[in-house]
């Protein structure tokens, strides 16, 4: 069950932190999603770059910053080896590229659900069994 930020007291919300176990679970989930698509880390990096470039193009904006999520970041996220939680920009991009499915509800996951995995407030079976999309 999704725990809404709105339903939590301010004190509970402020005390939400990624845990070591939560980071490992989130990483395992992201890895399972990547593998379910049949993608390598390099393919995910390329897809995040293309996705972000298309986003900027649709908005008519240009940028000089590197696009996408770097391979080293994706690898750290999948392994749960990071001090600070992943940036929200990275999480949004990975969410839009990987299109993770909640194995319990069979619906596309939302950003808050990914964050709740990292805080151990949402524990999912990470055995992803949906068919990889062909893109």
Q: What tens digit of pLDDT does each residue of 17-69 get?
A: 899 999 999 999 999 999 999 999 999 999 999 999 998 888 888 877 889 99
Residue in 22, 32, 14 with CA at minimum distance from that of residue 123: 22
- 2-16, 57-71, 105-119: least confident range: 2-16
H helices, E strands: number in the chain: 6, 0
DSSP string, 65-104: SPPS--HHHHHHHHHT--SSPPPHHHHHHHHHHH-PBPTT
Residue in 122, 120, 30 with CA at minimum distance from that of residue 79: 30
Q: Residue 79, class by beta-carbon neighbours within 10 Å (0-12 exposed, 13-18 middle, 19+ buried)?
A: middle
Q: What distance in Å separates the CA atoms of residue 87 and residue 9, rounded to the nearest whole number? A: 24
pLDDT of residue 39: 97
pLDDT of residue 90: 94
Please say if the pLDDT value at position 75 is more than 60.
yes
3 domain-assigned: no
10 domain-assigned: no
104 domain-assigned: yes
Which residue did the predictor score with more confidence, 24 or 128?
A: 24
Look up residue 108 and give its DSSP letter: B
The domain of 62 spans 17-118
Number of structural domains found in the chain: 1
8 domain-assigned: no
- What CATH number is associated with residue 45? 1.10.260.40
């Amino acid at each position: 069950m999704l725990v809404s930020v709105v339903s939590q007291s301010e004190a509970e919300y402020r005390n939400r932190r990624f845990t070591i176990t939560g980071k490992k679970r989130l990483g395992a989930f992201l890895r399972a999603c990547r593998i379910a698509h049949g993608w390598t880390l390099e393919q995910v990096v390329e897809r995040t770059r293309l996705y972000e470039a298309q986003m900027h193009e649709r908005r008519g904006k240009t940028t000089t910053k590197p696009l996408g999520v770097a391979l080293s970041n994706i690898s750290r996220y999948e392994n749960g080896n990071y001090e600070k939680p992943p940036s929200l920009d990275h999480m949004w991009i990975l969410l839009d590229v990987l299109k993770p499915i909640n194995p319990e509800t069979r619906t596309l996951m939302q950003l808050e659900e990914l964050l709740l995995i990292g805080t151990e407030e949402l524990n999912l079976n990470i055995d992803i069994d949906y068919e990889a999309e062909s893109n």
